[in-house]
Structure 1
Amino acid sequence: MVDKFVHSDLRATVVGLGLIGGSIAWALKEAGAFVSGRDIEFSVENEALSRKLIDQVGSDEKADIVFICTPLEATVKEIEKELLIIGTKCVVSDVSGVKQSIVEAISDPRFIGGHPMAGSEQNTLMGASPQLFNAATWVLTPTDKTDPQSYSFLQGIVSNVFQAVAVALPSKDHDEFVAVVSHVPHLTAATLMTLASKASDDHDWLFKLAAGGFRDMTRVAAGSPYIWPDVCIDNKEAISKVINQLVIELQELSSLIDSGDKELILAKLQKAQFARQALPIRATRPEELCEIRIRISDAPGELVKVLDVARVRGINIFDVEIAHSVDGSQGILVLIVANIDRELLCSGFLEAGYGVSAHKLG
């Protein structure tokens, strides 16, 4: 079945044409597939058609693969709808952020649960990109009923078309893991924004003090809130468990602060720092990378000038972050590059007149 991709006669259906569905459709189109798509909003269907992200509106009974990219509450219904019209060898997958409830609800061997660990707060078709999943982890949740050929086919699409890294996990494990790294972080960001919003009612200058750290921590709170009630209910056990653990950790930190124990406070923060620095970078192993920080001004063309220092030296940048200052006039540009390029890039920044610091991640 993987040969269908190679010969560009793959037929696919994408149900739900938001950020994820639109990006899936776009990547499939670029790979040469014939893509059908539908959405609850006619205007979205028309936009996808006019932008040539899909070839036709609707479902395709001849599809080789179907992706269900709807909100969680509609996912099972849409999976069942597609299973009724597709052929016996077609594969159906979804992209929902909770897997166990869906996998348990669908026993058909043609269905394989999936969850691409990619996205942004831009959750509409306007934010779609065929490169959205490049090097991202794409979780697949096969069961003992899954046909090996179907799994191999889906894994091939994920790897070859979307350029993602396919990882197989039991659905229960997936839900427990994403509660820690996705669900509770989003709820925490929303809670911090709520606290700040309440405080700003009495102190209108509060948000003017919100520097890069606060903005980075709360960025995901800008995403659509409408998907989250379903996620919270469907994954309530795992989410509640992690929230309780988070509360315990914060209470322990509060006790250390009350006691004035600087050494233990430092030890706790250092442990978090080391864990953060060890977060895997998509491109390579953390121990082979370093972090470079450059202070830049908020001026037209400044970012281009800085990145050009790396370009002219042929240095690849694995990741970029910007930490903004409170007044917005300047910031710290954080670049992740290979250790072997550290000295060359730092000398280039110094020659260009930038202050620079660097340290290894591993």
Structure 2
Amino acid sequence: MDGRVFIIGLGLIGGSLALCIKKEHKDSFIIGYDVNKDQTRLARMLNVVDETTESIEQGAKNADLILIATPVKETEKVLQILECIQLKRNVIISDAGSTKKEIVQLAGNLKNKGITFIGGHPMAGSHKSGVTAAKAILFENAFYLLTPEEHILEEQLHQLQNWLSGTKARFIKITPEEHDYLTGVISHFPHIIAASLVHQAEKTSTKQKLIPSLAAGGFRDVTRIASSSPEMWRDILLHNKDVLLSLLDDWQEEMHKVAKMIAAANSAEIFNYFFYAKQFRDELPQKERGAIPSFYDLFVDVPDYPGVISEITGYLAKEEISITNIRILETREDINGILVISFQTEEDRTRADLCIHKHTNYETSEGL
């Protein structure tokens, strides 16, 4: 396909979408806009986009496809701006936000003008942000949820999917209401729980000074999604409040059930509670990409001596294997430490595992 594509928001998601479109539709011309001028400059410097613009109005007026890759609160403002612009009649507008019902409702004014809006949500991400982290492979095999209203023609939906075919994502069509419930259960709600666990630990640490030290291992891993952007999660919770309030009610009932089991010292019920949770969790697809970015961790048992980290990273750099994070889980004199290296893809983790075994005799294991 050829045509003009306008991408609003040149961060990780917007930049990656631009790269996917450029890869698949080489005759397309991609214009980018971001309120952050540094991101705009970097996007052009890295050839993520072909051209940048100083305003949404200027970039949108001749576009055949407009993709909004901004936080949901900013998407609201962008939609209001687009309503007031004389757009091409056959333009398709989509977003990439984490909530859909309110956004689709806000796009109603575009519908009244005969403009096609199809809500979208690529369910992939990274532990890095910004356009410098953008990759054309970011969405491969990820679910890409599309939430067209009933008036949207199949031809228009297929046209959008064609534009986005370079993502190599798995497109699923659902209603905006279904989207917000599903993402509420498997993404939004877990982020609330992770944040609440951190708050509980922080309060306890005022009385028990060992809490921060002991929380440095498994607890930190369990709650790592609590390190996500506070601004983003504020907006998501406000946009999806009805679903989340209902889920919080269900959670309180669940915790009340657990409290009763413990108070009654019901050994069989407690065992079954963990047994069936383990069973369901173990049966979840291991190779699928879901709503929360996967953590591809590699645990390396390394001797505790100066320079061991640079030794490992040197081997990985030599084979051009990118890492997203690295840390020591535990190091004490005369015993092995555990080096935790995080990667963006399972492929990178597998390559790193082979690389380390090729150059060293260190034991490795994957994160669960």
Provide, for residues 308-330 of structure 1, a one-character-per-residue CA deviation record: whole Å limited to 9, x for no partner. Answer: xxx9xxxxxxxxx9998555922
Q: Residue 316 of structure 1 corresponds to which residue in structure 2?
A: none
Distance 1:276 1:198, change over 3 A: same
Q: Residue 290 of structure 1 corresponds to which residue in structure 2?
A: none
Q: Which amino acid aligns with 1:134?
A: E
TM-score by length of 1: 0.77
Shift of 1:103: 1.2
CA distance in 1, matches of 2:327, 2:254: 26
| 8 Å Cα contact 1:14-1:66 kept in structure 2 | yes
**Could you tell me which of 125, 135, 146 is aligned with 2:141?**
135
Matches for 1:1-362 after TM superposition, within 5 Å: 4=1, 9-31=2-24, 32=26, 33-58=28-53, 59-82=59-82, 84-107=85-108, 108=111, 109-158=115-164, 160-282=165-287, 296-297=301-302, 299-300=308-309, 325=329, 329-330=337-338
| Aligned partner of residue 114 in structure 1, secondary structure | strand
CA distance in 2, matches of 1:103, 1:47: 31
Identity of aligned residues (%): 28
Distance 1:248 1:156, change over 3 A: same
| 8 Å Cα contact 1:123-1:224 kept in structure 2 | no
Q: Residue 289 of structure 1 corresponds to which residue in structure 2?
A: none
CA distance in 1, matches of 2:300, 2:37: 47
| 8 Å Cα contact 2:301-2:364 kept in structure 1 | no
Q: Residue 318 of structure 1 corresponds to which residue in structure 2?
A: none
CA distance in 2, matches of 1:357, 1:226: 35
Root-mean-square deviation (Å): 3.7
Provide, for residues 155-191 of structure 1, a one-character-per-residue CA deviation record: whole Å limited to 9, x for no partner. Answer: 2233x21111111111101111111111111111111
Distance 1:258 1:211, change over 3 A: farther
Q: Which amino acid aligns with 1:66?
A: I
Shift of 1:145: 1.2
CA distance in 2, matches of 1:152, 1:330: 48
CA distance in 2, matches of 1:47, 1:234: 31
CA distance in 1, matches of 2:45, 2:60: 19
Gaps of 5+ in 2: 54-58, 290-297, 320-324, 347-352
Shift of 1:265: 1.4
TM-score by length of 2: 0.76
Provide the aligned length of Structure 1 versus Structure 2: 326
CA distance in 2, matches of 1:178, 1:114: 13
